[in-house]
A and B are shown apart, each in its own frame.
Chain A
Amino acid sequence: MSKPRKQIILGAYLGGVNHHTVWSDPAAGSQIAFSSFQHLARTAERGRFDFFFLAEGLILRERLGLIFDQDIVGRPDTLPVLAALAAVTEHLGLIGTINATFNEPYELARQLASLDHLSGGRAGWNVVTSFGAFTGQNFRRGGFLHRDDRYVRAGEFLATARKLWDSWPADAVVADRSSGRFVRDDSVGAFSQHGEQFDISGRFNVPRSPQGRPVVLQAGVSPQGRDFAAGSADAIFSPYRHLPEAREFYQDIQARALRQGRPAGSVRLLPSASFVLGDTEAEAVERHREITRTQVSGRTAQILLETVWNRDLSGYDPDGPLPDVDPDPDAPLVIQGRARLAQDPHETVANWRALAEANNYSLRELAIHVFSRTEFIGTPAQVAERIDSFVQNDGSDGFILGSHLTPTGLDEFVDKVVPLLQERGSLRAEYTGTTLRDNLGLPTPNTPASAAA
C-alpha cells in the first residue's frame, strides 16, 4: 500500500441518558460524581486517546407527559466538568456539546475560550441546535427557533463566535511594567455582528486562547447539514458504520470541503461506536447478547418502538409480535425530548415488519436488533484489526468510543486493544503535541494581524 498509515483518532464518551448505559450492573458507578468522569478521562489518556467527549440535553425526556424513569436520568453541566477534567489530565482534548439555540455568542464564546486557556489549548465544541417548543420551556425565549432555521442559527452563531475569538490579536497582552502598557492598544476585543440572528457589538473580554479557535465538531447528514459541516467544522460525526456507505460519506464530505475552499484533509470524520470484548469470539458474542438483553428490557423495547410508532405501545407483549397498528406520526408526540429518527415512520415500520417476519423476531428481539449499535464485537485482536482497517480504508478517521458500563467500561479496551493498535503503528505511543489541534493533526488557525481591529 503506497498510502501512508493513518493515525487513528480516538475519543471517549461517558455513556449517559439513553438505554445503552446499563445502570443495573453491580459494577455500574455514579453518573454524576466527578470521580466517574475523572476515571474515564484518565483511562482515555492512559490509552493515548485524542479527546474526551460529553453530550448534553437541556430538558428531561418525557413519555406521555411523564418523566422517563427507565434509563439514566440526569447529568452534570458540560463546561464545568470539562474545566475540572483539565485539572486531572494533561493531553486529552475536552469536547462538549453545547446548544446554539439556547445560548448567546458572547457568553458561550468566552466560556469556550476560557476552557481553552484553562486547559492549555484542549477545548472543543460540538455545535448543536434544538428547535420546537419543548426544550424552550426552560429558557427565557421559549422555543423560538423554527426547524428550517437551525443551520441559519448554527452558522451565524459559529461565525460570530469566531469573530469574538479573533478579536484579540495573539500579541495583545503586553504587560510591560516599565512602559506601563498592559494591552497593546485600546481596541482589543472590538467586534460587531449585524445579522439575522444576532445584532451585537462591543468588546470581547477574553484574550486569544492557545488554540486561537477551539476545535469545532458538527453532525449533519442532509445536504444542507453536510455543506454546513464541511464548510465550517474541524471534525464531523459520521453516522455511517458500514464501510461502503461510510467511504461514500467520507469522500462526499472531503469533496464538499474542497469546493468550499478548504485545504484537503482539513476535516476529520468520526463515527461513535461501542465494543464488546471476549477472550474468544464466541465469548464476546455471548457477552454482547447478555448486554443487549439488559439494555433492552421489554419495557425499553416498547418505548424504543414508540419513538417510531408515536403511539402508546405499553399494551403490546414484548415477547409477542410487532404491534399490528400503523404508526401515528401526526398525533402529539408520545416521546418528548429525544431526537427523532429522520426516516418516514410508515416506511420504517414496513421494513421492520419484513425484518421481524424473516427472522421470526418478537417485539423485543426486533428492538434489540435495530437499536443495538455495538460495532466491534470480538477478541482484542479482531477489534483492533477491524478498527484499523475501517480507518485505513477511509471509512472514517477514527471513532468516538463509549461503553455500556460507567465509568470502568473503557478500561479493558485501553488495556487490551490499545497496545495492539500501537503495535500496528496506527496509534501514538506517546503524545507529541500539547493542544487538541495537535492531537488531531489540525493546523492552528492563522492569528489575525495585530493591526486589524
Chain B
Amino acid sequence: MPALFPLHLAVALDGTGWHPAAWREPRARPLELFTPRYWVDLVAEAQRGLLDFVTIEDALGVQSSRYDGPDGRTDQVRGRLDALLIASRVAPLTAHIGLVPTATVTHTEPFHVSKAVATLDYVSTGRAGWRAQLSRPSENSHFGRRDIPRLRLEDYATPEGQALVAEHFEEAGDFVEVVRRLWDSWEDDAEIRDAATGRFIDREKLHYIDFKGRWFSVRGPSIVPRPPQGQPLVTALAHSTLPYRFGARSADVVYVTPRDTYDARAIVEEIRAEQHSAGRTENVHVFGDLVVFLDTAATAANDRRRRLDELAGSEYGSDALVFTGTPAELADLLRDWQRAGLSGFRLRPGAIPHDLEAITRALVPELQQRGLFRTAYEADTLRGLLGLPRPANRYAAA
C-alpha cells in the first residue's frame, strides 16, 4: 500500500551516539568531540541523507546516569559544547538541513534565547529551530538564583510532584510565548531606509511585547529583526500529559516515545485533543523518537548492541523504544507508526558514525524506494521542508 504522504526524518545528535559505550567503537571519534570538524562531518552526513533536520542535545550540567547529580563515573562521555553555537558553526557549511539545538528554559533568559535562535536563523538563512527543555534539578546549584524543590524521579507521580511539574511546564509555556512574541516584535518590512525622511526604520512596525507573567516580565522589542522564517521551529520532547499539553500549545514539532502502534495512536490523539482545547489550528507535527541500532543483518545489529552493553556493564535502556534490526525492518515500523498518525521520526543513532550512516545510506534509500521519503530537498527553509507556512506576524495589521 503506497503512503499517503512522505514522512519526515530527523536525527538526534549527542556525543558519539546514544549508547553510553559508543565512544569505544573502533570508528568513534571521542577525542574529536570538542572540535568543529566532528560536528560539521556529522551534519554533512545527515544532509547527504536529505534529512529534515538534526537536533543537538545540550544541558547546563555534566552528563550523568543519575537524574539527581553527578554519578562519579569516568567510563562514559562527559562534557559537551553549547549546542546553539555548534549549530551556528555548522550553518555556513551546510545549505539545506535544519539545525535544531537544545536550549534549556529554567535558568536562562527568554530574551537571550530568542535572539540566539533568531540569529541562528539568519546565519543559516532560514533553517533554525530550537528544542525547549527543562533543566534537571542538579543544575540549580550552577546558577544559585532559584530555590527549586529537588524532585526525585520517583516523586513525579505524587500529587505534589505533578503540581510542581505542571508549574515548570507553565513557565516553559510562558518562556516560549515570550520567545515567539520577540520574533514577531519587528514586522518584516520595518526596515525602510527612507533617505527622504531620514528614517532607517518605521518605528510603527516595531512592537513592545509587554509580557507580564508570574516568573518574568519582558518588554521588548527584540534587538534582532524578524528572522527569515518569521517563526523558527519550536520543538519539545514529551512523555506524559503535562508535557504533551505544553507541546500541543507551544511547539511546532512534539517528539514522543511510543512503545508500539497502539501507543502511538493514543499519544497522537491525546496531543490533538490538547491542541484542540487550546484552540490551536496550525499544523503541529508529532514525531516518534527511536534509538536505533541498524545493520544489514539483524543478528549483526543485535551482536553489536550486546557487545556495547557488555562494555557498559549493563543493558542499555532508554525513554524511547530501542530498535535493533535491519533498515528494511525499521522502514516497516516507521510506515506502521506513520499510519498511526505520526508525521515523522527523530532517530537517535546508537553509535556514531555507524548508525548515522545506516540511516542516511540504507534506511533513506529503503524509504525512498517505498515512496516514503524525499529524493531531493524541495524547500529552502526548515519550515518549508516540514510543510509549515511562514506565519503572519501577530502584530501586523491585517
Report which A residues bind B (CB closer than 8 A). 23-24, 28, 32-34, 38, 57-60, 66-67, 69-77, 79-81, 83-84, 86-88, 102-104, 106-107, 110-111, 113-115, 117-120, 137-140, 142, 168, 173, 175, 177, 180-186, 188-189, 198-207, 297, 299-300
Contact = CB atoms under 8 A, between A and B. Distances in A.
22 contacts: A23-B193, A70-B198, A76-B119, A77-B112, A77-B119, A79-B85, A83-B85, A83-B86, A87-B91, A87-B93, A106-B143, A107-B143, A113-B81, A117-B36, A117-B81, A118-B86, A138-B220, A139-B111, A140-B215, A201-B141, A202-B138, A205-B61
Nearest to A136: B219
B202 interface: yes
A144 to B, nearest CB: 11
A21 to B, nearest CB: 9
Given A81-B123, A83-B88, A299-B198, A67 B203 contact: yes
B340 interface: no
Contacts of B78: 182-183, 188-189, 205
A249 to B, nearest CB: 31
A60 B122 contact: no
B141 A180 contact: no
A106 B125 CA distance: 30
B195 interface: yes
B224 A60 contact: no
B81 A80 contact: no
A38 B92 contact: yes
B202 A69 contact: yes
Contacts of A110: 60, 82
B218 A139 contact: yes
Interface in B18-69: 23-24, 30-31, 34-36, 40, 59-63
Given A185-B74, A297-B198, 4 more contacts: A139-B111, A186-B72, A189-B78, A205-B60
B107 interface: yes
B134 interface: no
A22 B182 CA distance: 27
Contact of A207 (B34, B89, B206): B34
Contacts of A186: 70, 72-74
B352 to A, nearest CB: 14
Contacts of A139: 109, 111, 216, 218
Contacts of B86: 83, 114, 118
Interface in B118-158: 118-120, 122-123, 125, 138-139, 141-145
B79 A189 contact: yes
Contact of B144 (A58, A107, A113, A199): A199
A84 to B, nearest CB: 4
Q: Is the interface of A mostly helix, strand, loop or mixed?
A: loop
B108 A182 contact: no
B200 A72 contact: yes
B223 interface: yes
Given A182-B74, A186-B74, A77 B93 contact: no
Pick from A24, A67, A140, A173 the residue with the most CB of B within 10 Å: A140
B284 interface: no
A205 B80 contact: yes
Contact of B224 (A74, A113, A175): A74
Residue of A28, A86, A168, A183 with most chain B CB atoms under a 10 A cut-off: A183
A140 B216 contact: yes
B81 A69 contact: no
A299 B191 CA distance: 19
Nearest to B26: A177
B116 interface: yes
B82 A114 contact: yes
B201 A173 contact: no
A87 B90 CA distance: 7
B62 A205 contact: yes
A41 to B, nearest CB: 11
B76 interface: yes
A60 B206 contact: yes
A175 B72 CA distance: 16
Contacts of B109: 102-103, 139-140
B141 A200 contact: yes
B23 A175 contact: yes
B90 A73 contact: no
Scoring A183, A185, A203, A206 by chain B CB atoms within 10 A of each residue's CB, the highest score goes to A203
Contacts of B90: 87
Given A34-B123, A74-B186, A205-B60, A120 B92 contact: no
B193 to A, nearest CB: 6
Given A138-B219, A177-B24, A80 B120 contact: yes
A68 to B, nearest CB: 8
B119 A118 contact: no
A206 B119 contact: no
Nearest to A115: B85
Contact of A84 (B92, B203, B217): B92
Contacts of A32: 122, 224-225
Given A58-B223, A139-B111, A77 B218 contact: no
A274 B331 CA distance: 60
A84 B99 CA distance: 13
A173 B143 CA distance: 25
A168 to B, nearest CB: 7
Contact of B89 (A84, A180, A198): A84
A107 B60 contact: yes
Sorted from nearest, which 6 A-B pairs have the closest CB atoms? A175-B30, A83-B88, A114-B82, A84-B123, A77-B119, A80-B88
Given A76-B122, A80-B85, A299-B198, A107 B224 contact: no
A75 B81 CA distance: 25
A219 B146 CA distance: 32
B199 interface: yes
Contacts of B123: 34, 76, 80-81, 84
B141 to A, nearest CB: 5
Contacts of A81: 88, 119, 123
A38 B92 CA distance: 10
Contacts of B80: 205-206
A353 to B, nearest CB: 27
Interface in B100-122: 107-109, 111-112, 115-116, 118-120, 122
Given A77-B119, A80-B85, A69 B199 contact: yes
Given A70-B200, A139-B111, A181-B74, A111 B85 contact: yes
Given A84-B92, A104-B145, A203-B62, A76 B224 contact: yes
